[in-house]
Chains A and B, each alone.
Chain A
């Protein structure tokens, strides 16, 4: 065991360079700053009033009433102009950096008085192509809201003894959602938000941990060959299996530190981007049985551990063909592809809804199973999780056996992976 710990320590010292630690710190800082920045923008978008220029070319009682109604709204900040051309109004709006221009043409008041639909012209000023340019309050949202309010007032005038709301909205549905036979009051939006966090956030974290582990091991083998330290290492009085497992464990610890830091940063960033599930939403999720239990978290952790072990064993085999750090990067590609492919497929479709051939392919790729587990555990569906774990354990055991066998031969020094004809030398 002493030699094994010595190997792990060396591996960690080699991988955790000053540059590595600096890049980790930079990652946390960047995510932190991005999270704060995005969060502040989102908050601003949600609370900031919309700035509107209103051009009243009608100048009647009805048009002034409309302006009054607009003025009473907290979410609107407005400037009124009463003359000029459309072009001049647009120019002024843009000069004042306002978001919208609303023009009430002549005849607006007459139509309102006649209780006919009156036309308005609503111009939204687009200042950029970023996401924030299209989010927040819109002029059409304000107009529609006012339109509803005016409609209620008109009806109230016509039928003062009736509740206008009942006449405008004669149907009121109490919304329920049903998941796997369980019903609970709630909206599709709540479930959608939860599903997004489970099918994106958790798999992204899993993907990062698996990819980093694989890349670390291949990189470590590349460094051994590039620095010409492998030969000395292989002549030390240590079992080859200890060298294999020591390398894997050292790389796994470093990769988990990296994935952990990434996870903290990414979760912070995502929480700034998406609103928290409300109390009512949480109650609905609980009633639907969509909360992950402690056993679920335990199984998810075990599934992730086995996936990392599989990635490490596979990476060790691929690492045998690596000649230096540069070739290590390209040799890590198969693992990256095997991790990304199931993630992308399962992001958009449920496993059960896929064609049989694709389903079989996904089951055969060991790195599909943590993502499958993350979804299945929400529904307390343990069979596919345990089956996936057994498959990954078998896959990792076979890969490790092959790896140790190769380490016990001279293939570790003579193995080459090249599309060109192999050169021979002594």
Chain B
């Protein structure tokens, strides 16, 4: 079984509002897959469903073969989710926060130590890692949260706008980091507004608008299909 994610005919309603109108897509193991679309298209809802936060209205979702509805605990063991507007516990230090999170994924103190060490390296906060989170800038908090999401070497990393709030230099470093994790076997599902980021990172993308997937493919193939220079133009062509 080579599929990390299998989404079939997924529908999500919020009361009378249909946020996702029957979407289907699959993500291979080790692949970086992007959900691209404008605000309110349903990207975050899809990611939150796959992260076990929201319930499915109808359709099915399987993560590494585990049924999301029937085996959410098994799914949670495989994933690491970074929400777009996430925060960390303000009264903990960055180090304490990573230690708290590492505890859930470690069998013993040795393993926990190495997970936290990896987290500290990814975060690149130097001595500030020992300061309380409430003293961090937005960018520093984002780096800490990314470190939290990736330090456990998850089988599936679900990243909602991973470089949101980061400057150009930090964004590039994070993109390289995501690529290196994927090379080491982590599957990545991400959403982004940044089309350049998507083009650089993703093996394949799905364009999503008004709760529907309107196109799926690799960035080079999509550019070729629509005879355009970049993904931004692909998107404009598709939604025309």
Question: Which residues on A are within 8 Å of B, measured CB to CB?
Answer: 2-3, 6, 9-10, 13-14, 17, 227-229, 231-232, 234-239, 409-410, 413-414, 422, 424-426
Cβ of B79 within 8 Å of any chain A Cβ, yes or no, is yes
Would you call A14 and B89 a contact (CB within 8 A)? yes
Which residues of chain B in 16-65 are interfacial with respect to chain A, using CB atoms and an 8 Å cutoff? 17, 19, 40, 42, 44-45, 48, 51-55
| Nearest CB of chain B from residue A37's CB, rounded to whole Å | 35
Would you call A424 and B55 a contact (CB within 8 A)? no
Nearest chain B residue, comparing its CB with the CB of A426: B19
Would you call B83 and A232 a contact (CB within 8 A)? yes
Known A229-B87, A413-B53; contact A6-B73, beta-carbon cutoff 8 A: no
Would you call B105 and A237 a contact (CB within 8 A)? yes
CA–CA, A235 to B50, complex, Å? 10
Would you call B73 and A13 a contact (CB within 8 A)? no
Partner of B15, one of A239, A410, A424: A424
Would you call B87 and A227 a contact (CB within 8 A)? yes
Would you call A237 and B73 a contact (CB within 8 A)? yes
Known A410-B54, A410-B55; contact A426-B44, beta-carbon cutoff 8 A: yes
Majority secondary structure, A binding face = loop
Which residues of chain B in 85-110 are interfacial with respect to chain A, using CB atoms and an 8 Å cutoff? 85-92, 96, 100-101, 103-105
Nearest chain A residue, comparing its CB with the CB of B88: A229
Residues of A near B101 (CB, < 8 A) are: 236
Cβ of B121 within 8 Å of any chain A Cβ, yes or no, is no
8 interchain residue pairs of minimum CB distance: A228-B87, A227-B87, A235-B81, A6-B103, A237-B77, A410-B54, A237-B76, A426-B19
How many positions in chain B have a CB within 8 Å of any CB in the partner chain? 38
Q: List 15 A-B contacts (CB under 8 A).
A: A3-B103, A3-B104, A9-B100, A10-B89, A14-B89, A228-B87, A229-B87, A232-B81, A234-B52, A234-B53, A236-B101, A238-B76, A238-B104, A410-B53, A426-B42
Partner of A227, one of B14, B17, B52, B90: B90
Would you call A235 and B45 a contact (CB within 8 A)? no
Residues of B near A425 (CB, < 8 A) are: 14, 40
Known A14-B89, A235-B53, A426-B44; contact A414-B14, beta-carbon cutoff 8 A: yes
CA–CA, A396 to B89, complex, Å? 29
Residues of B near A414 (CB, < 8 A) are: 14, 54
Would you call B104 and A228 a contact (CB within 8 A)? no
Residues of A near B17 (CB, < 8 A) are: 424, 426
| Nearest CB of chain B from residue A296's CB, rounded to whole Å | 40
Would you call A232 and B86 a contact (CB within 8 A)? yes
Which of A235, A239, A422 has most chain B Cβ within 10 Å?
A235
Residues of A near B85 (CB, < 8 A) are: 228
Which of B48, B86, B96, B103 has most chain A Cβ within 10 Å?
B103
Residues of B near A9 (CB, < 8 A) are: 100
Would you give the 0/1 interface string for B67-82, flagging 1 where the beta carbon is closer than 8 Å to chain A? 0000001001101111
CA–CA, A6 to B101, complex, Å? 9
Which of A10, A17, A413 has most chain B Cβ within 10 Å?
A10
Would you call B76 and A424 a contact (CB within 8 A)? no
Would you call B45 and A426 a contact (CB within 8 A)? yes
CA–CA, A409 to B54, complex, Å? 7
Would you call A231 and B91 a contact (CB within 8 A)? no
Nearest chain B residue, comparing its CB with the CB of A226: B87
CA–CA, A146 to B40, complex, Å? 91
Which of A14, A234, A237 has most chain B Cβ within 10 Å?
A237
Known A10-B89, A413-B53; contact A236-B96, beta-carbon cutoff 8 A: no
CA–CA, A177 to B178, complex, Å? 82
Known A13-B91, A232-B86; contact A424-B14, beta-carbon cutoff 8 A: yes
Residues of A near B76 (CB, < 8 A) are: 235-238
Partner of A413, one of B19, B54, B79, B86: B54
Would you call B100 and A6 a contact (CB within 8 A)? yes
| Nearest CB of chain B from residue A165's CB, rounded to whole Å | 72
Nearest chain B residue, comparing its CB with the CB of A239: B73
Partner of A235, one of B52, B55, B91: B52
Residues of A near B14 (CB, < 8 A) are: 414, 424-426
